[in-house]
């Protein structure tokens, strides 16, 4: 998820008012309806996948995700890879006992679309380490330091949570990259990713779930676009789409993004973002100044240009977008990581920090402004304790506290938990400074933007690229 330079940011977002009239807001027919559905969900989390596309799996695969890890680990020797729906026979609460005994399938592979919780694929609940890199220069001593190794052992549970979220991210995006095609609606695209995330992480209140709204910003829009209900936008062959999605386990968020395109004429733009982000990751480390990361990124972008339809464009970094540190339940923690040189920020990264290294480039001016209907919101981490007089705002805040706390959410997520007619209440919370609106961030019309993002961890002994996969 992008971090916008605070200079360009106003607290109050007037764009909220150009939302569709509440009464006309189409009901997301895939979502459970009404407050009763939300209550039901609380009792019986993670039983349902909400997509019609996944309806089949919901009655088969995901149905038996609950509380059976122990039983499974003990008696499952079969190596067979389950087809989707292989567990369909074991349906219904009445059969639960029997199911425990007879259940033979221990999935060793993910389904398509993804429905198998990663906890079932790594039955000891130890998730794979990301790609590690030794520190350089004055920090080479860390690699073998006994003291630093001991520090890591103490933090191992937190690392494992991050790695679990990263594994979910990898598996969900692996499918998304194959399945997403021109002709799909933006809502279908987001639900493909979100259904996968909810199933694989075994969404459970604030303990595990989606880290922030699925960004699918198109072309000149660089970040913070996800469709609201009723958005009819359809992906086309000539679109450049930034897929930026998050997964969290116990508040440990993995924030990772990539760019999809279908027309090879955009190859250079997408390659530039990837190379620049990797330069930033390479530069990052304990005691490294933020400005030096920005300079390393910028240098890569300097070497890129692209020819589009007979015209040559410089590929520029988007100077008011940044990487950022991440704290538990806090996607944009204290530090922002510039992607241009001469930022002047000599703040250093420190041991233990989790950092989203993300860079954006553009064929436009290399500067984004807020443009378009807002979808993304988050309760401010330092939300003021002000009395709320508007009842609807008060009840909406209670719902936000319960379902998202300080994790970013979007209007579609409010719809699916059964909230209705919330736009005025939401506007009230935004103007009180309790909730922050994050409208789409766009460069000039007609330009194209690309992004690549990884979450890294500055462990005491090494740098770990948590979200690294075999794709990027």
Tally of CB atoms within 10 A around 54: 25
x/- site string to Co ion, residues 331 to 370, per CB under 5 A?
A: -------------------------x-x------------
Is-contact 425 398, C-beta < 8 A? no
CA terminus-to-terminus distance, the chain: 17
87, 239, 255, 443: the active-site residue: 255
The residue count of the chain comes to 472
Shortest reach from residue 370's CB to Co ion, in Å: 17
324 in a known ligand binding site:
yes
Shortest reach from residue 408's CB to Co ion, in Å: 10
Is-contact 242 263, C-beta < 8 A? no
- Strands, E, within 139-295: which ranges? 208-218, 221-223, 240-249, 252-261
Q: Is 167 in the site for Co ion (CB under 5 A)?
A: no
Name the region of 94 (left: φ>0; alpha: ψ -120 to 50; beta: rest).
alpha
167, 453, 454, 464: the active-site residue: 453
User: Is residue 345 annotated as a catalytic residue, yes or no?
Assistant: no
Distance CA 372, CA 220 (A): 12
When the beta carbons of 358 and 419 are compared against Co ion, the nearer one is 358
When the beta carbons of 286 and 355 are compared against Co ion, the nearer one is 355
Q: Is 4 in the site for Co ion (CB under 5 A)?
A: no
x/- site string to Co ion, residues 243 to 282, per CB under 5 A?
A: ------------x---------------------------
194, 358, 370, 415: the active-site residue: 358
443 in a known ligand binding site:
no
453 in a known ligand binding site:
yes
When the beta carbons of 203 and 358 are compared against Co ion, the nearer one is 358
Shortest reach from residue 2's CB to Co ion, in Å: 6
Q: Is 1 in the site for Co ion (CB under 5 A)?
A: yes
User: Is residue 244 annotated as a catalytic residue, yes or no?
Assistant: yes
Shortest reach from residue 266's CB to Co ion, in Å: 22
Distance CA 179, CA 177 (A): 6
User: Is residue 324 annotated as a catalytic residue, yes or no?
Assistant: yes
358 in a known ligand binding site:
yes
Strand order in the sheet with 221-223: 221-223, 441-442, 369-370
244 in a known ligand binding site:
yes
385 in a known ligand binding site:
no
Shortest reach from residue 255's CB to Co ion, in Å: 4
Give CB contacts under 8 A, 24+ apart, made by 280-284: 280/323, 280/337, 280/339, 280/357, 280/359, 281/357, 281/454, 281/456, 281/463, 281/465, 282/133, 284/337, 284/349, 284/355, 284/357, 284/456, 284/458, 284/463
Distance CA 227, CA 217 (A): 9
453-472 residues in contact with Co ion (CB under 5 A) are none
User: Is residue 358 annotated as a catalytic residue, yes or no?
Assistant: yes
Is-contact 213 410, C-beta < 8 A? yes
Site residues (CB under 5 A) for Co ion? Answer: 1, 255, 356, 358
Q: Which residues are annotated as a binding site for a divalent metal cation?
A: 244, 255, 324, 358, 453
Q: Which residues are annotated as a binding site for substrate?
A: 224, 332
Catalytic residue numbers read 244, 255, 324, 332, 358, 453
């Amino acid at each position: 998820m992008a971090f916008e330079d605070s200079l360009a940011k106003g607290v109050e977002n007037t764009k909220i008012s150009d939302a569709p009239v509440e009464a006309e807001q189409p009901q997301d027919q895939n979502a459970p309806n009404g407050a009763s559905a939300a209550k039901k969900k609380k009792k019986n989390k993670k039983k349902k996948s909400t997509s019609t596309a996944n309806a089949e799996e919901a009655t088969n695969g995901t149905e038996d995700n609950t509380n059976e890890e122990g039983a499974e680990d003990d008696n499952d020797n079969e190596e067979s890879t389950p087809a989707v729906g292989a567990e369909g026979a074991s349906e219904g609460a009445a059969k639960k006992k029997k199911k425990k005994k007879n259940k033979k399938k221990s999935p060793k592979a993910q389904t398509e679309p993804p429905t198998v919780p990663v906890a079932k694929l790594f039955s000891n609940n130890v998730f794979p380490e990301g790609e590690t890199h030794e520190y350089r220069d004055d920090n080479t001593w860390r690699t073998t330091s006994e003291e630093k190794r001991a520090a890591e052992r103490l933090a191992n549970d937190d690392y494992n949570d991050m790695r679990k979220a990263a594994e979910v991210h990898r598996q969900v995006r692996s499918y998304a990259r194959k399945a997403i095609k021109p002709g799909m609606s933006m809502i279908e695209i987001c639900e493909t990713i979100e259904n996968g995330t909810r199933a694989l992480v075994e969404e459970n209140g604030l303990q595990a779930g989606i880290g922030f709204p699925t960004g699918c910003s198109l072309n000149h829009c660089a970040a913070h676009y996800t469709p609201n209900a009723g958005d009819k936008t359809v992906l086309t062959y000539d679109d450049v789409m930034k897929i930026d999605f998050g997964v969290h386990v116990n508040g440990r968020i993995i924030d990772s993004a990539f760019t999809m395109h279908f027309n090879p004429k955009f190859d250079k733009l997408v390659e530039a973002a990837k190379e620049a982000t990797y330069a930033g990751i390479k530069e990052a480390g304990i005691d490294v100044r933020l400005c030096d990361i920005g300079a390393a990124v910028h240098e890569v972008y300097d070497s890129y240009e692209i020819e589009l339809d007979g015209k040559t464009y410089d590929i520029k970094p988007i100077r008011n977008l940044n990487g950022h540190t991440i704290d538990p339940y806090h996607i944009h923690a204290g530090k922002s990581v510039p992607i241009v040189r001469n930022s002047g920020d000599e703040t250093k990264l420190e041991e233990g920090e989790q950092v989203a290294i993300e860079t954006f480039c553009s064929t436009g001016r290399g500067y984004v402004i807020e443009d378009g209907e807002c979808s993304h919101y988050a309760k401010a981490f330092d939300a003021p304790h002000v009395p709320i007089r508007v009842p609807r705002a008060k009840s909406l805040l209670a719902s936000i506290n319960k379902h998202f706390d300080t994790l970013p959410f979007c209007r579609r997520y409010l719809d699916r938990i059964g909230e209705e007619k919330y736009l005025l209440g939401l506007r009230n919370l935004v103007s009180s400074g309790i909730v922050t609106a994050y409208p789409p961030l766009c460069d000039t019309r007609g330009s194209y933007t690309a992004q690549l993002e990884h979450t890294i961890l500055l462990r005491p002994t090494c740098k770990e690229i948590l979200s690294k996969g075999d794709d990027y």
